[in-house]
Chains A and B, each alone.
Chain A
Amino acid sequence: MTKSPVEDALTAQAAVPVKKTVQMPVGVPDYTLTSETREVPASEPPVWPINKDLKFVGQSIERYDGVAKASGRARYTSDVQLPGMLYAKFVSATVPHAKVVSIDTSAAEKHPGVRGVHVIQHVLGNAELRNPALDQAKYPVVRYAGQPVAAVAATTPYAAEEAAALVKVQYDTMPFVVDDVKARRPGAPNVFPGAADEEGSAGGGGGPSDVKQTGNIHGPSIHKRGDTDQGFKDADVVVEGRYVTQVQTHSALETHGVVADWKPDLLTVYASTQGTSGVREEMAGFFRIPLTQVRVITEYMGGGFGAKFGAGNHGVVAAALSKKTGAPVRLMLDREEEHLSVGNRPSSDQLLRIGAKKDGTITAIHLVAYGTAGCGTGAGCAGPAQNLYQTASLHTEENDVFINAGPGTAMRAPGHPQGAFALEQTIDDLAAKLSMDPIDLRDKTDSHPVRRVERQIVRESDLWKSRNPVAGADQGAVKRGVGLAQSVWYRFVSMGSSAEVRIHRDGSLEVLSSVQDIGSGVKTVMAQILAEQFGVPPSQIAVKVGDTNYPEGPQSGGSVTTLSLTPAVRDAAWQASQKFLADIAPALGATPRDLVLVDGEVRSRSGKMEPIAFRRAAAKMTSSQIAVQAKRIPDYDPKKYLTYGGVDVAEVEVDTELGRIHVRRVLSVHDCGRPMNPAQTISQINGGVIQGISFTLLENRLLDPVYGLMVNPDLDQYKIAGAREVPDIDVRLVEAYLGQSSTDASGIGEAAGVVSIGAAIGNAVYNATGVRVRRTPMTPAVVLAALRAQAQGKEMA
């Protein structure tokens, strides 16, 4: 039998890598579209044209699981019920800082519903002491109120709750600090007795481990380019400001949790996670069992936003209780535990100074940032200052400040909403000081080719044209303003990402990967790719994800999912189609090289054969299925297009008497490589904008300084944006072809709105009032204080 070109290529590649040269579309249609040459492995599929010339990819195909979600059929981790399943409940620390003297579980064990009790020996999530011996304690030291101490498993949720309350924990309390400014002062109670570090997760976050620690200050982590002293000497103007942002919790609607089912040969974990493979790895490591004995399943996931990676305390405890009791154990956190113990976006307190020439050329950027990730690290927020603008010199210092609060973790674009809040308002100040248009200034200092196009779109928009360049010009108490800000994120590729495509003899098609669909719609996109390859409707493709029994897909953090996985899916689909043609060619009396698969038909290039429908052709397969697994290959030109982003414009009304900010309209212009499914991408951008508004105006984790407890660990006092806070959002999706992979997709989750909208609102408030609000959340009290300070001729502290 003759080999297909793909098999030829694969065989050859095993010995000597065989490359081919292709022309790929690069740039933004209608603006900068051109074509570039790439050298790619010969096994790569043909280059796709831009979206308008594709049938399924790039189209707003209905969400693969839309009906399941809208009809309540979608089964999330919290919906899993197994026969004999027990309900577990944490016993959590009631004090913010203490050594645990004793844990008496006898009364809990006597509760008639209780089947198992577990005392935690190692707490996950907190920063770990470089020298663990410093703690000198029998049980893990409590570093925040809400830290899990023990857990019970019982036959009903009520019994679990009652029994948890019967566990007696005796504490030897220690002095504590929950205010990050106080925690920085000499003599403040130390959260850790020595240096401690928290690693990041697959979603990012975490802090550096090679920095010094003084008291509660973990840092600085210094990043330098050029000489900032000289840069400021060279500057014609200098602008500076102190910016403060609060701690935000992820507040996903589905809390963290698992159902763990320990059997002698297999631990099955139903997990609400952003990374099935990461949960599997950590479970196997923790219990010292092979990866083959752990299976993690995430059919549907009710939101993560960066907080749901790894096994977690809940996962390990549920598995331990399942092992102990011989029954499946469900441990879903309640809303209070969710706020306290499984992550948050760290705060920031930034002093930012920028020097520039009269023409807008930036000569120096200097940032000193402190922030708290509670008893974790990861408050660094210098990303935007380091990566958004060209500068002759740069100096950034990032410091984590430990306080007795739950550890921070990655949250949607870690560090970037905080960093952009300061940077983009300071750039706006610079524009005002130079009497330059904010877009002209950015055109001068930001060389990113796609953001240049995005600014052009903004410049031509009615919303931007309606902006009065004179700040605070409106008469009356309610003043209108318009402001813009830019976002930046990075092209991270998860190289292990794999998928398998199967063609069955009945003509049905499936694609499998352990990747989890966290709401971004990767299932839909996978179906679209197969539809494009085989010419059948996406609704006829079976997509199987969220199960570590399938080939390992990416963990969904840092906007990696679509850009990492889709090329593997397309490569597998393409290679499967080539194998398929080779397999059926003899039965059709044709040569494989003469056959093509187009629009759901097998056709002869030479016209020797009548077209035959794909389904009928599949019946001629020599085996019951053809399966091909493919893995993500490196970007075609890995040195190019390392960042992407967008520009957001906000229109606000500021009530200067009540201090209320109303965001009326948002224009959100964003790029994500080739948009695979515009409707789903726009959904994510809407979400980024709304989460960003929520962060900027509403959310605040409040800690009581006297008792060290969170006073609003719920969803009524911890306020997130609802329907009435949502402005009219106009999303302009920019197709930005990069020529980087067989799908040329990028990510959108991080860059979407959430990075830039805070500063856009800040700039709009300044435009409305002539007053800069440098603190979030911009509550009425904060706004009024800023207005008052301005009226009294001084800056708000």
Chain B
Amino acid sequence: MSDSRDTTSSAPAESAHSGMTRRGFLKGAGLTAAGTALLDGVQGLTREAAAQTTHGVTELGPGPTSVRLHVNGVEHTIEIEPRATLAEALRIHLGLTGTKVVCDRGVCSGCTVLLDRMPVNSCMTLAIDAIGHQVTTIEGLSSEGRVHPLQAAFVKHDAMQCGFCTPGMVMSCAALLERNPHPTEHEVRHAVSGNLCRCGTYPKIFAATLDAAGATRNA
């Protein structure tokens, strides 16, 4: 993942390594649940959107507005309503359908993506709150046609059945290995304790993640 990030971002990229709490991260990132959002001087908005400025603040919505998102190392400009979730922006507007929406209320982690390096539920994150952050989706984990070692380990251990939870599982485990390259099985279970799998593939997900960690250690 690229280290360059928008300087307006209020979420430190280091947060993933500093043991910061989820609550603290959400607060720091300015994530909001409001339908209409007020954003001050955010550079991720395009010129057209910024033209709506009144009283010195940028007022968005309820209609579609133009925003810039950094996804998998590429900058995209899309027209979305401010109420659009990051999951919707990725799936519907960018065609990145590897991110799955399962419960649509933040309890199953099927929609997990990385915001900078922090795993978040993209169904509970407004797309406009991803402005200025580096978003990594399951499609962005592999590069130049080469699968990420964790994805390779998932295949090797048959850590999937129907496969619908798999992208979210991989993202949660990838985030774990970033902050803790040598996890115990207990730590893997903890990392995916929010990820639901109905086929019951968990044991092989633990094995795959531990195996991938071992491969990293030996590399």
Contact = CB atoms under 8 A, between A and B. Distances in A.
Most buried by B among A71, A72, A724: A72
Contact of A305 (B108, B142, B198): B198
Interface in A702-727: 714-716, 720-724, 726
Interface string B133-176: 00001110110000100011011101111111111001000000
Contact of B147 (A67, A252, A686): A67
A67 B151 contact: yes
Nearest to A74: B163
B55 to A, nearest CB: 27
B184 to A, nearest CB: 13
A72 B137 contact: yes
A728 B165 CA distance: 21
B116 interface: no
Interface stretch (A176-184, A207-215, A310-318, A676-684): A676-684
Contacts of B165: 253
B98 A71 contact: yes
Contact of B83 (A158, A687, A715, A726): A158
A421 to B, nearest CB: 18
Contact of B196 (A63, A720, A729): A720
Contacts of B170: 70
Interface stretch (A75-83, A401-409, A492-500, A577-585): A75-83
Given A70-B170, A72-B98, A722-B193, A253 B105 contact: no
A618 to B, nearest CB: 28
Contacts of A158: 81, 83
Interface residues of A, number: 59
B204 interface: yes
A75 B200 contact: no
A303 B142 CA distance: 25
Contacts of A66: 154-155, 158, 160
B158 A722 contact: no
A69 B170 CA distance: 10
Contact of B160 (A70, A75, A254): A70
Contacts of A729: 203
Interface string A220-252: 000000000000000000000000000000111
A724 B162 contact: no
B26 interface: no
B197 to A, nearest CB: 8
B104 interface: yes
Contacts of A521: 161
B193 A254 contact: no
Interface in B83-100: 83, 88, 91-92, 95-100
Given A63-B158, A687-B200, A723-B202, A253 B92 contact: no
B195 interface: yes
A302 B103 contact: no
Contact of A62 (B96, B147, B155, B192): B155
B139 A520 contact: no
Interface string B191-211: 011111111111111100000
B97 A72 contact: yes
A62 B196 contact: no
Contacts of B105: 335, 714-716
Nearest to A694: B200
A72 B200 contact: no
Contact of A253 (B141, B159, B162, B194): B162
A72 B167 contact: yes
Nearest to B157: A679
Interface in A323-356: 334-335
B110 interface: yes
B185 to A, nearest CB: 10
Contact of B200 (A74, A78, A686): A686
Interface residues of B, number: 59
A52 interface: no
A69 B198 CA distance: 15
Contacts of A680: 158
B158 A519 contact: no
Contacts of A519: 160-163, 199
B161 A71 contact: no
Contacts of A262: none
Nearest to A680: B158
A301 B162 contact: yes
Of B104, B155, B200, B203, which is in contact with the most chain A CB atoms at under 10 Å from its CB? B200
Residue picked from A302, A518, A686, A723, most chain B C-beta under 10 Å: A723
Contacts of B167: 70, 72
Among A65, A303, A694, the one with the most B-chain Cβ atoms within 10 Å of its Cβ is A303
Nearest to B91: A79
Contacts of B156: 62
Given A691-B200, A716-B103, A71 B147 contact: yes
A300 interface: yes
Interface in A240-295: 250-254
B150 to A, nearest CB: 8
B102 interface: yes
Contacts of B155: 62-63, 66-67, 70
Given A335-B103, A691-B198, A715-B102, A69 B83 contact: no
Nearest to A726: B202
Interface in B14-72: none
Interface string A195-215: 000000000000000000000
A683 B201 contact: yes
Indicate the member of B95, B151, B194 with the most A CB atoms within 10 Å.
B151
B189 interface: yes
B107 A716 contact: yes
Contacts of B88: 157
A688 interface: yes
A60 interface: yes
Given A67-B155, A71-B141, A252-B198, A726 B161 contact: no
A78 B160 CA distance: 18
Counting chain A CB atoms within 10 Å of each CB, the highest count among B158, B188, B195, B204 belongs to B158
Given A67-B155, A158-B83, A683-B161, A690 B200 contact: yes
A303 B189 contact: no
A302 B164 contact: yes
B110 A253 contact: yes
Interface of B: 81, 83, 88, 91-92, 95-105, 107-108, 110, 137-139, 141-142, 147, 151-152, 154-156, 158-167, 170, 188-190, 192-206
26 contacts: A63-B155, A68-B163, A69-B160, A70-B154, A70-B160, A71-B139, A71-B147, A79-B97, A81-B92, A81-B95, A81-B97, A250-B198, A252-B164, A253-B162, A303-B199, A335-B105, A683-B158, A686-B204, A690-B200, A714-B105, A716-B103, A720-B196, A722-B192, A723-B190, A723-B193, A724-B193
Given A74-B98, A519-B162, A726-B189, 10 more contacts: A65-B163, A72-B138, A75-B97, A78-B97, A680-B158, A687-B201, A714-B105, A716-B105, A722-B192, A722-B195
